[in-house]
Amino acid sequence: MRACIHRGSKQIGGSCVEVKSCGQRLLVDFGLPLDAEENNSQYLPKIDGLDGCDPSLLGILISHPHLDHFGLLAHISPKIPVGMGAAARRILEAAAPFLPGNWPTPSEGWNYRSGQSFNIGPFSVTPFLVDHSAYDAYALQIESGGKRIFYSGDFRAHGRKAALFERLTDNAPQNIDTLLLEGSSLGRITDSQKFPTEKEIENHLVQIFSTTEGLALIHTSGQNIDRIVTIFRASKRTGRKLIIDLYTASILEATGNINLPQSAWTDVALYIPQAQRVQIKQNAWFDLLKRHSTNRIFIENLKYLSNKATLLFRPLHRFDLERGGCLAGAIYIYSQWEGYWEQGAYDMVKDWLERHSIPKLSIHTSGHASTPSQKF
Ligand SMILES: [Zn+2]
């Protein structure tokens, strides 16, 4: 068995590894580089068979649903089977209609079950569920011809599923010939520096929520399920209802996990911003809307909830919040990678906050392992 790293060894994300045995090939991850300005085919690595016409390319195994690991699926033949977690697949399908650009929906293939091996041609593949900021993320063990590769995907040990990391390291796969380990934090933080845990983020949010007189606007990815749970828990602890829009409601539903906050829970409410009303009408998503409308509230009601609510904020909400007069005493909490903010991706939010004199805080922790975890 031979492995070729096409991308990901000298940069964070954009990962793609080709594995070959007995003349047959698998790709492991197929990511869009993080610094790509848009998702287009110029970023495709030079690999034979991406047109679906080379039977030696057996399929593509995706570790987790982050664009820097699956984004380039948008540009290849749908005939190539794709493996990933079943919940991850559902999340990508649920997200697709809401998102602009080339958001890929993966072809059918293999649905992972943690610890259960399956065969693809000469390869035996074993996925292991890991703790990461993407839901349903896996490390992959690939075996062929008596050799074993272990590919970690992205992982951490300080999320809400940290027990998965302990489980994996306590029962580590044996006789690994080649370890391909993600090292996003290496060289970016000191060896002893540790990222805050999701539990610590929860406590920090509790502190801020309890001293905020108005609406708490918290800006995070609707697909960072760990963070949404953290925000939900902090809201509940401070007597606040979590307000989500139809996009987040659909993503939470797509997890298929009834233990995660859902639109019908009593401490959760659905609010539809104007931009989504237009989408609902244009796409006739009336069943989807009905399914999530048990606790629907309208913008006129939101201002009366004020310090009894946390809104999972997205930039498209700002016009509605303005119009609804919901901003007295509000706070804005930025809860994702600081790089997006620094690169100017949210300059429109920055201006809006200044215009309304809304204070900004950053409360976040990395989706990647700190160095001590990587040295396990
Ligand atoms: Zn990731």
pLDDT digits (tens, 9 = 90+) for 350-360: 999 999 999 99
Distance from the alpha carbon of residue 80 to the mean position of ligand 1, in angstroms = 22
Q: Do strands 178-180 and 147-151 pair parallel, antiparallel, or not at all (unpaired)?
A: parallel
Residue percentage of the chain with pLDDT more than 70: 97
Residue 187 scores a pLDDT above 60: yes
Confidence grade of residue 371 (pLDDT, cut at 50, 70, 90): low
Q: Any residues with CB less than 8 A from the CB of 285 and at least 6 apart, and which?
A: 97, 246, 279
Q: Looking at residue 374, what is its pLDDT?
A: 56
Distance from the alpha carbon of residue 66 to the mean position of ligand 1, in angstroms = 5
Residue 376 scores a pLDDT above 70: no
Distance from the alpha carbon of residue 223 to the mean position of ligand 1, in angstroms = 11
Distance from the alpha carbon of residue 365 to the mean position of ligand 1, in angstroms = 13
Q: What is the pLDDT of residues 260-285, one digit of tens each?
A: 999 999 999 999 999 999 999 999 99
Q: Which residue has the higher pLDDT, 300 or 77?
A: 77
62, 35, 59: which is closest to 47 by C-alpha? 59
Residue 61 scores a pLDDT above 80: yes
Residue 319 scores a pLDDT above 90: yes
Distance from the alpha carbon of residue 327 to the mean position of ligand 1, in angstroms = 33
First to last CA, the chain: 26
Q: Looking at residue 373, what is its pLDDT?
A: 63
Q: Any residues with CB less than 8 A from the CB of 24 and at least 6 apart, and which?
A: 56, 58, 121, 122, 123
Average the pLDDT over 324-330 and give the result.
Answer: 94
Q: Looking at residue 327, what is its pLDDT?
A: 95
Q: What is the pLDDT of residues 127-144, one digit of tens each?
A: 999 999 999 999 999 999
Q: At what angle do helices 246-254 and 274-283 cross, to 10 degrees?
A: 60
Distance from the alpha carbon of residue 264 to the mean position of ligand 1, in angstroms = 29
**265 alpha carbon, distance to own chain's centre:** 22
Confidence grade of residue 164 (pLDDT, cut at 50, 70, 90): confident
Using an 8 Å Cβ cutoff, are 138 and 154 in contact? no
Six token digits for residue 53:
């016409």
Distance from the alpha carbon of residue 370 to the mean position of ligand 1, in angstroms = 14
26 has which bridge partners? 19, 59
d(CA 74, CA 249): 25
Distance from the alpha carbon of residue 156 to the mean position of ligand 1, in angstroms = 10
Average the pLDDT over 13-36 and give the result.
Answer: 94
Using an 8 Å Cβ cutoff, are 310 and 206 in contact? no
Residue 375 scores a pLDDT above 60: no
Distance from the alpha carbon of residue 152 to the mean position of ligand 1, in angstroms = 11
Residue 361 scores a pLDDT above 70: yes
Q: Looking at residue 218, what is its pLDDT?
A: 98
Q: Which residue has the higher pLDDT, 138 or 340?
A: 138
Average the pLDDT over 84-90 and give the result.
Answer: 97
227, 271, 226, 217: which is closest to 246 by C-alpha? 271
Distance from the alpha carbon of residue 238 to the mean position of ligand 1, in angstroms = 30
Confidence grade of residue 68 (pLDDT, cut at 50, 70, 90): very high
Distance of CA 308 to CAs 12, 190, 327, 361, Å? 39, 40, 13, 19
- Side-chain half-sphere of 205: how many Cα atoms within 13 Å? 35
Residue 210 scores a pLDDT above 80: yes
